[in-house]
Structure 1
């Protein structure tokens, strides 16, 4: 198995550490540890290694499933890896809706063969017939990210159910990375609640502001969860005891935490929209905390623009090139308000000099 380098993470590794403002962060602002009881007791393995059964049962209930149909993981990244390893073998085929977070395409491509189906800009609409046309007899998996990273497009329930039906009718599973779902004002039903071929992954990173816990989960039919747990024995064995301890508290207080996150995301989206309009740029008004913005005139690609911005203003943006979309840059507006204001002010200054 040969996986390609993760372009976005390599970019961050090169520029993030020395920069003043990280305006490419893709989650909501981090919550302070002081908000929680941070003493989990003895720091041993979580037993059973798939996660606390009572906590899994409570999470599973939000999907209309039982605790044996949820596996706790070290973030959504591990959940997606385990799902792909469980559902794609050598010789299998996957259909991936793009642009998307690179691992959702690169992981199945490292194991089997991938056909991509592109969202159509500027509205980033999905042609379900194109998904159906990409299916093959050996297709075992369809991959969706909704709300989408990087575009912020939130496909409606009818579209998602139509994609689910395409997958199910072909005996394939629909894997949906739903890390931004709880940032929507009116979240859609999760894919894992749609039927026996639905698999959902998520974490407490993007909507809760708890990236440092590295805690997430996979929800889906028991045969998928069992296979993912088998693979997990070879990755992290169990979730973090500390992560599970704090995540349990956050989940119990999710109504309050998510309301706070949604208010912040809404306010910051308005501030970022004003910036976009001020400079006559374009974007799709996003759900979540990522804006996919057109590259300003005078710059050949998103990569070229981001290189100049970090060099001159010490502000990190995410080049659209890392998502296969060189005419765009991703701007993350979920960071603390003062940092967002500082980053946008520096971009204002940069664009005023180069306008």
Structure 2
């Protein structure tokens, strides 16, 4: 088994420590004093797939029972153990997307990528997915809302993708970490609620401001969750006790509503600042529909996303995400989920750089 180097994480490792970050893909971290951080003890969480009450609470949003939910260390582990459990000879992955959603299945088998249509605002084409499905396809992978574009795939298109997968006996795995940014009426039902072939992964990182908890989950058919749990026995065994303690509080209805309202307000304010920045410099983009990622074309005079981002680090001390990390070398991703003052400082530095190179 060989895994492709994670381009975005290696880029961050090289640059994020001493520069101003405008490449994070979630909202600013919450103040930990909002929560009781002390679990009953520092033993393993028992049962090791997570507290049954919390799993039942999470399962309600997918019309799933407690034993159809597995608690994990972030969405990254949720996706890993699900791929390990389900991946057969072949998977279909809709791209551009977060690298692990295609690199992990590529480590287990063959992958056919289906590209979103950049010329049509990154629209999902269910028929293109259907054409890519083979007799040995075990899995179709979708990220909705999409990272890096901020595109929200519409209910009829997601349902069509699900039906194509189910007709072939393949599971649809949908990474839904950006769903909480949008209201329930703004995104399709999660994949795990669509039927027996639907699987959803999510976490408290992107919209909740709790990335450091490393807390996520898998929801789906019992046989999928049980198989994923067998892989988790070889990774982290149980969710961290502190993380589960905070997650229980963050997902209480009133607290969750409060956290998400704050995140959505921050995202809306900062979105407007990014729109103004894009307009000032005549940059091309498809405006994101939700989340805190802007996927912008590289300004004229620069040669590719990585080259541009390297120049921005060197001259402005600002970290952006090169489009090459998403196999889109003519673009870069700008994250606007941090505190507004942080974003304003970063955009001011970018203004000065672009004016120098105009």
Name the TM tier (shorter chain). over 0.9
TM-score by length of 2: 0.97
Pick one of 116, 128, 131 that aligns with 1:130. 128
Pick one of 269, 275, 278 that aligns with 1:273. 275
Provide the secondary structure at the position in 1 that maps to 2:17.
coil
Partner of 1:231: 231
1:161-206: CA deviations, max 9, x gaps?
A: 1100010010000000000001013343111000000000000000
Report how far residue 41 of structure 1 moved: 2.6
**Paired residues of 1:88 and 1:140 also in contact (CA < 8 A):** yes
1:98 maps onto 2:95 in alignment = yes
Partner of 2:347: 344
In structure 2, the gaps of 5 or more residues are none
1:68 maps onto 2:70 in alignment = no
Mapping 1:9-158, distance limit 5 Å: 9-19=9-19, 21-89=20-88, 92-122=89-119, 123-158=121-156
CA distance in 1, matches of 2:40, 2:86: 36
Provide the secondary structure at the position in 1 that maps to 2:118.
coil
Q: Please provide the CA RMSD for this pair.
A: 0.7
Provide the secondary structure at the position in 2 that maps to 1:16.
helix
CA distance in 2, matches of 1:341, 1:188: 33
In structure 1, the gaps of 5 or more residues are none
The range that moved more, 179-188 or 61-70, is 179-188
CA distance in 2, matches of 1:321, 1:78: 24
Mapping 1:281-300, distance limit 5 Å: 281-286=283-288, 287-300=290-303
Report how far residue 102 of structure 1 moved: 0.3
1:325 maps onto 2:325 in alignment = no
Report how far residue 103 of structure 1 moved: 0.3
Report how far residue 267 of structure 1 moved: 1.1
1:162 maps onto 2:164 in alignment = no
Provide the secondary structure at the position in 2 that maps to 1:65.
coil
Partner of 1:313: 316
CA distance in 1, matches of 2:309, 2:259: 33
CA distance in 2, matches of 1:160, 1:54: 30
CA distance in 2, matches of 1:339, 1:2: 38
Report how far residue 337 of structure 1 moved: 0.9
CA distance in 2, matches of 1:311, 1:104: 30
Partner of 1:8: 8
